[in-house]
Each structure stands twice: as structure tokens, then as C-alpha cells.
């Protein structure tokens, strides 16, 4: 089974990927970790990998027999949409994403939640901007193998199908 979870920042991609990974016993990969490498010395808390290194890491993931990948819909990973058996598109209302981004940022700022980046005001601003970026156009050619999840309940109902 090969699943691609795609959605805006704070739509629940990682949470859903982890849940499905546990229930299906399939490894999951966050493509944020393919793009960025943790770097405590960097002002942002991470460093962007070279395009070549990103391509190599992504190609290695796609060679696996089973996987779950999650991403915001970066163009360099479009090949994954062709390769997978199923796409989950998390299409949450923007106001809900704003709320989630702000609460996440606050929790990361006080150390309650881990982060792959430094939770600065500049990062909060970027994340709020990214919530309005949709991948709807990107998934159009793949609607036959796409399930659209529009809220937390949809996510839960989908993952409950695989209850152990």
C-alpha cells in the first residue's frame, strides 16, 4: 500500500500519517524532512538540502514497496502522486488552519510541542501565509484515487477503517 497525504500547514497530515502507519504497519515519511535537515546553528533551526539530495531521498522512498508520505504539495514531489495507490487530500477551512497554526506556534514557543524549526514571529507569519496555499489544482488529474477529508471527524472516520 502506498499513500500520499497532501494538505496545507496544520491540516493534520502528520497526525493522520502516524495513525495510519501504526494501524497498517507501514512506514511514513514527512517530506519536510526530505527538504530540510535539522540545524541548531541556523537562525531557522534547519537547513535546506540540495535539490540533488532531496531528489535522491525522495527516489529512495518511492522505491519502497509500502509507504505513507505526507507533504504540503511541493511541485518537486509530484511524481509521488503518480506512484501511489491512494491520495488523501486534507481540505480544511482556512479559519481552522489559522487557529491550529497559532496554537501550535504557542505550544512550540513554550516548549510543550517539538518543532523542526525555531518558532519565531517570522515563521508564524510564513505558516499563516502557507495555510492559504491549496493543492487542489495539483490533485485534479488524480481524483479517481483521491479521498477528500474536510475536517477532523473525516480524518478520524478514515483512520477508523483500519482499526486493529
Alpha-carbon span 140 to 129, nearest angstrom:
23
Q: What pLDDT score does 53 carry?
A: 97
Q: What pLDDT score does 164 carry?
A: 62
Alpha-carbon span 140 to 149, nearest angstrom:
15
For the chain, which residues score pLDDT lower than 70? 164
Burial class (CB in 10 A: 0-12, 13-18, 19+), 137: exposed
Residue 22's alpha-carbon distances to 19, 26, 72, 89, 143, in angstroms, are 5, 7, 21, 20, 26
Q: What pLDDT score does 135 carry?
A: 83
Per-residue pLDDT tens digits for 104-129: 999 999 999 888 888 999 999 999 99
Q: What pLDDT score does 145 carry?
A: 97
CATH fold for domain 2-92+134-159: Rossmann fold (3.40.50)
pTM for this entry: 0.90
Amino acid at each position: 500500500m502506498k499513500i500520499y497525504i497532501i494538505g496545507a500547514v496544520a491540516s493534520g497530515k502528520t497526525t493522520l500519517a502516524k495513525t495510519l502507519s501504526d494501524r497498517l504497519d507501514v512506514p511514513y515519511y514527512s517530506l519536510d524532512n526530505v527538504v530540510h535537515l535539522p540545524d541548531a546553528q541556523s537562525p531557522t533551526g534547519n537547513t535546506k538540502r540540495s535539490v540533488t539530495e532531496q531528489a535522491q531521498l525522495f527516489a529512495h522512498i518511492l522505491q519502497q514497496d509500502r509507504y505513507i508520505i505526507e507533504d504540503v504539495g511541493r511541485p518537486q514531489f509530484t511524481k509521488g502522486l503518480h506512484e501511489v495507490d491512494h491520495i488523501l487530500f486534507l481540505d480544511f477551512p482556512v479559519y481552522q488552519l489559522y487557529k491550529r497554526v497559532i496554537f501550535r506556534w504557542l505550544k512550540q514557543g513554550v516548549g510543550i510541542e517539538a518543532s523542526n524549526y525555531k518558532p519565531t514571529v517570522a515563521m508564524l507569519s510564513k505558516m499563516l501565509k502557507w495555510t492559504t496555499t491549496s493543492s487542489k489544482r495539483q490533485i485534479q488529474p488524480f481524483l479517481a484515487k483521491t479521498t477528500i477529508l474536510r475536517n477532523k471527524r473525516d480524518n478520524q472516520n478514515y483512520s477508523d477503517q483500519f482499526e486493529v
